[in-house]
A and B are shown apart, each in its own frame.
Chain A
Amino acid sequence: MDISLSFHLKDKKMPPLIEFQHVTYAYSKASIPAIKDISFSVEKGEFIALIGPSGAGKSTLCYCFNGSIPQLFGGTMSGNLQVAGCDPFQDGTPVLAQHVGLVVQNARTQLFNVSVIQEVGFGCENLGLPREEILKRVSGALEFVGLTGFEDREPGALSGGQQQRLAIACVLAMNPEILVLDEPTSELDPIGGEQVMEVIARLNRELGKTIILVTHDMDFVAKYADRVLLLCDGSLFMNDVPQKIFSNFELLKNARIRPPQVCEIMHDLKENGYHLPDFPITLEGTLQVLKEMQYA
């Protein structure tokens, strides 16, 4: 696996890796679409956070990236969609799997093999890779997510955090350009969640993977995301850098999103008449601002 050889690419001259143009999708028998007129593009190597309240259509959007929608779920879909040069309307999910790795919310239900090594190797076997290459990739992926030594363990016997990291390793071993992660920490304890988030950040930073992350962890979004897509009631409410999103309290209130804690503190300071040289959204930025204001 060329994990060690990968590097971070953010070449804006390249055509977008993902492009949605007026995509609307309704599940079969649903009276209203789950996502409506969604348009955005993603460049190679970007870290995109997909946020929004429950029922906003975030998971539905995730399933569009690898063609699960509409190929597995049925329903009606319109608009244009390009993912890594493939057309999810035409190309099957197994074909798209070579470009897009999808990690769904519940880790337990996506693990179905009897050992960790079999679980991680499953995708590579389906791609018809030689055995030696599979072993190399499995070893590289497990090392990356911190599960070296777990090869013979039963996936079901791992902790929630380990299972989620294993699910990431399973798609990572296939070496896709894009990783889509649907609320990977929603069922984890804080430490397990932190470990998973750390792996996701490294996937982008060290391997240059394009990340689409659905999360409610706004502190993480503020710290790592290049751009935020804010979904609300199936529509794309806003598409901007985290700083712009998290400093717009009116917008967040309307979208029923709680901003990072530091943003709330900064907002309160501002409301109480304090002059802030900047509006930081991360803890590090806040400390810097407070230093400048001579409070720290």
Chain B
Amino acid sequence: MFSVSLKSRNSPLQKLDGRTKLIFLAVIFILVLLFTDLLYITALLALVLAAWFIAKLPTQPLKEMLQFFVWIAVIILVVQVFFYPGTTNLVHISKPVPAIGFSGYLTLEGILFGLAMVLRLVVIMIVAPLMVMTTPLPELMLALVKLKIPYKFAFIMTTALSLLPSIQNRSAIIQQAQLCRGISYDSGGKFITKLKASVSLLIPLILGAFRDSQTLEVAMNSRAFGAPIKRTFLLESRFTPVDILVIAGTFTLLTVGVMLRIRGFGVY
């Protein structure tokens, strides 16, 4: 499983204010959902990948994410390719099945739309970790709070992210303990065996997480979490000229995107 912890230190992206990166993230999300044209979505993917490399992030998490996504992508592609109502027929497959919207042909528009949908999900999948991997969690929380997200919500979100490594560690410990007692996680095993093994892993993992969450609640309350006092922050957050520039560029991109969409560009 890929890790979404902070991986970029001292890169231009890491130096940006958390709010700048959140605005960029939101704009990419909006744009990728606005367009269905493969060309436009590819351009957005190129932008996100460029940001990934500017952030000097390792390519390994990218590979792991794509490996994880490959089967989902195949399913999406197949569904869109066969069921998108295109006009340029390429290959005749079978008789039309109107009940499920299948024309009987594999169409050019279907292929392009299918690829666009896959790339749309790839963009969404990459841009969120890009944010987390370039922003220390306290900065992310502060950015959310400054953007008027309720503190408790921001805290829950960032704490959940910060606890992921410890859940992964606990999972590894349970697996080791169960391996010692004869439970096999062998990938060569039957599906039912694997399912049973994962149940025996999930139950102690969830129960342990519940137990820890109670201790965590006690610990947080012992440190005045939720006190009826206006909270302050140890971290400081300030926009630099680079932030202003990036935000201006991001909003320009959004404006151009919306204008193009209104004029009918970027969709099939």
Residues of A in contact with B (beta carbons under 8 Å apart): 63, 66, 68, 72, 92-95, 97-98, 100-102, 104, 106, 108-115, 117-118, 121-131, 134-135, 138, 156, 167, 170-171, 174
Contacts and interface: CB of A to CB of B under 8 A. Distances in A.
A101 B219 CA distance: 9
Given A109-B212, A115-B138, A156-B165, A134 B221 contact: no
Given A102-B218, A134-B234, 13 more contacts: A66-B221, A68-B222, A72-B217, A72-B221, A104-B219, A106-B215, A110-B218, A112-B162, A118-B138, A125-B231, A138-B234, A171-B222, A174-B223
A-B interface, 4 closest residue pairs, ranked by CB to CB distance from nearest: A110-B219, A123-B223, A94-B227, A93-B221
Contacts of A167: 219
B263 interface: no
A187 to B, nearest CB: 13
Nearest to A101: B222
Given A110-B215, A114-B138, A126-B229, A97 B234 contact: no
Contact of B224 (A97, A106, A113, A131): A97
B224 A121 contact: no
**For this complex, into which size category does the number of interface residues on chain B fall?**
20 to 34
A114 B163 CA distance: 9
17 contacts: A63-B218, A68-B222, A72-B218, A93-B221, A93-B222, A94-B224, A94-B227, A109-B215, A111-B219, A112-B216, A121-B234, A123-B223, A124-B232, A124-B234, A127-B224, A156-B166, A174-B224
Contacts of B136: 114-115
Contact of B219 (A112, A115, A127, A131): A112
A101 B218 CA distance: 11
B236 A112 contact: no
Contacts of B138: 113-115, 118
Contact of B162 (A94, A114, A124): A114
A128 B190 CA distance: 56
Contacts of B204: none
Judged by DSSP, the binding face of A is helix
Given A114-B136, A114-B138, A126 B223 contact: yes
A106 B224 CA distance: 19
B223 A104 contact: no
Interface string B218-261: 11111111111111111010000000000000000000000000
B229 to A, nearest CB: 4
Contact of B233 (A113, A117, A125): A125
B216 A97 contact: no
B235 to A, nearest CB: 8
A113 B155 CA distance: 10
A136 to B, nearest CB: 12
Contacts of A135: 234
A102 B230 contact: no
B137 interface: yes
A88 B163 CA distance: 30
B200 interface: no
Max chain B CB contacts within 10 Å: which of A127, A130, A174?
A127
B89 interface: no
Q: Which of A104, A124, A125 has the most CB of B within 10 A?
A: A125
A104 B212 CA distance: 11
Contact of A95 (B159, B223, B227): B227
Contacts of A106: 215
Nearest to B219: A110
Contacts of A100: 222
A102 B234 contact: no
Contacts of B231: 125-126, 128
A205 to B, nearest CB: 23
B233 A131 contact: yes
Contacts of A102: 218-219, 222
Contacts of A104: 215, 218-219
B230 A125 contact: no
A87 B166 CA distance: 36
Contacts of A97: 221-224, 227
Looking at B212, B222, B232, which has the most chain A CB atoms within 10 Å of its CB? B222
Given A97-B222, A112-B163, A128 B232 contact: yes
